Amino acid sequence: MSSPPVIEEIAMTAALSRSTHSVSLHDGEIVEESELGSMRRVTVDNLPILKRLSIKRLVLNPGAMRTPHWHANANELTYCVAGTALVSVLDNGSRFSSFVVTAGQMFHIDSGSLHHIENIGAGVAEFIIAFRSERPEDFGFGATLGAFSDAVLGNTYDLPAADFAQIRRDTTDHKLAARVGAPDISASAYFEDPHRFDVEAQPAGLTYAYGNARFARDQFWSTLKDISMYSLRVSEDGMREPHWHPVTAEMGYVQHGDARMTIMNPDGTLDTWNMTAGDMYFIPRAYPHHIENIGSDEWHFLIFFDQPFPADIGYRASASAYSREVLAAAFDTHIDDLPNFPLTTADPLIVPRRNPVDH
């Protein structure tokens, strides 16, 4: 006996809302949360399929900061969603820089480099942070002072040991803190800096009537060595064609809109689910997948890759690469039953959606 239509629809909706490839970053693991802001993350501990990449959302209220820290095993690539922040970085060789970032700009921090992020604006500052590790490790500068004695610190700074006795020290990292007084911003913080990249100010690398893509990759930002990002927008009548990335994994974040994704696993099973703002997903290297707009307006994805210059192979070019005889054999069908595939020598990335969304 078949299930009633209502039950089938409920089952379909439930299936589309679950995936082993995706979770909500907004509901991710709480790293810290207070009146100063919040930090939530998704690592391999929360999403086991992750490999070489993980993601964090940082929200800073006015006057709050992410205190100075470094990552022991991962480069960091950050996109500023909202607000105005001061970022400072101390790299190898005592090279120090401080720069201001605003919405639509990005910054890159090398693994091991000391850095902080400080909200210097009147509104909330929000960041999406990708790490080049599925389980990044952090050290807070304040916490590391708790590892050493007053005498050791006194010797380090050429001061009496007693000068450190009044500093409250332990090895707990206080990740969020409030600034005392006005922010200290040098004039040079507004100059160009190699750590910073204004991705949304770049001309779209690919533009169609139904979407566009802007690229933060080593071709345009030489600082990047093992990570990159696409800012991808697709209108309600557009679709990211089925494709795969031969040598890069993909980790995406839904900044705005509603979309449906399908992934095929090596065992032939399919994973199809719906995503909305705040969700993230992960696709292992070379897994075929597609993304379709199912909303009534444009969606915007931040898509991170574990290579400095990602590349892909799309289904349109794949059908053009082989003769109809080979395609008929591959699809196990009669050659006369094949559609008239359009000749495509370079995949378009985004295609128009001529047909309605499948249900």
Amino acid at 46: N
Helix (H, G, I), strand (E, B) or coil at 30: strand
Q: What are phi and psi of 287, to 5 degrees?
A: -80, 125
Report, at the CATH architecture level, how domain 202-352 is classified.
Sandwich (2.60)
Strand spans (E) along 122-246: 125-131, 138-140, 176-178, 196-197, 206-208, 211-216, 228-234, 238-244
Question: What CA–CA distances, in Å, run from 10 to 4, 7, 263?
Answer: 10, 5, 21
What are the backbone angles phi and psi of residue 91, rounded to the nearest 5°? -95, 180
Q: How far apart are CA 356 and CA 358, in angstroms?
A: 6
Dist CA 227 CA 217 (whole Å): 8
Q: For residue 323, which phi and psi values (nearest 5 degrees)?
A: -70, 160
pLDDT at 118: 98
pLDDT for position 40:
98
Report helix, strand or coil for 326.
helix
- For residue 354, how far is the Cα from the chain centroid? 30
For residue 325, what pLDDT is reported? Answer: 97
Q: Where are the domains of the chain?
A: 35-197, 202-352
Decide if 35-197 and 202-352 have a common fold. Answer: yes
pTM of the model: 0.93
- Strands of 37-42's sheet, edge to edge? 29-34, 37-42, 54-60, 125-131, 76-82, 106-109, 196-197
> Per-residue b/e over 300-339, b at no fewer than 16 CB within 10 Å?
bbbbbbbbbebebebbbbbbeeeeeeebbeeeeeeeeeee
In a 10 Å sphere around its CB, with 0-12 CB exposed, 13-18 middle and 19+ buried, how is residue 158 labelled?
A: exposed
CA distance from start to end of the chain: 22
Q: Is 35-197 a CATH 2.60.120.10 domain? A: yes
124 closest CA partner among 196, 77, 57: 57
Is there a contact between 211 and 291 (Cβ–Cβ < 8 Å)?
Answer: no
Other CB atoms within a 10 A radius of the CB of residue 43 amount to 19
Instruction: Fill in the DSSP letter of residue 53.
Output: -
pLDDT at 166 (0 to 100): 86
Whose tokens are 């249900």? That residue is 359
Q: pLDDT tens track of the chain, all 359 residues?
A: 444 444 344 344 444 556 999 999 999 999 999 999 999 999 999 999 999 999 999 999 999 999 999 999 999 999 999 999 999 999 999 999 999 999 999 999 999 999 999 999 999 999 999 999 999 999 999 999 999 999 999 999 999 999 998 888 889 999 999 999 999 999 999 999 999 999 999 999 999 999 999 999 999 999 999 999 999 999 999 999 999 999 999 999 999 999 999 999 999 999 999 999 999 999 999 999 999 999 999 999 999 999 999 999 999 999 999 999 999 999 999 999 999 999 999 999 899 988 988 86
Is residue 142 classed as helix, strand or coil in its secondary structure?
Answer: helix
User: What contacts 24+ positions apart, CB below 8 Å, involve 337-345?
Assistant: 341/316, 342/316, 344/314, 344/316, 344/317, 344/319, 344/320, 345/317, 345/320
Which of 40, 6, 36, 1 lies closest to 23, judged by CA? 40
CA distance to 71, 164, 220, 244, 319, per residue, from 217 (Å): 21, 45, 6, 18, 28
CA atoms of 86 and 210, how far apart (whole Å): 35
Distance (Å, whole) CA 232 – CA 216: 11
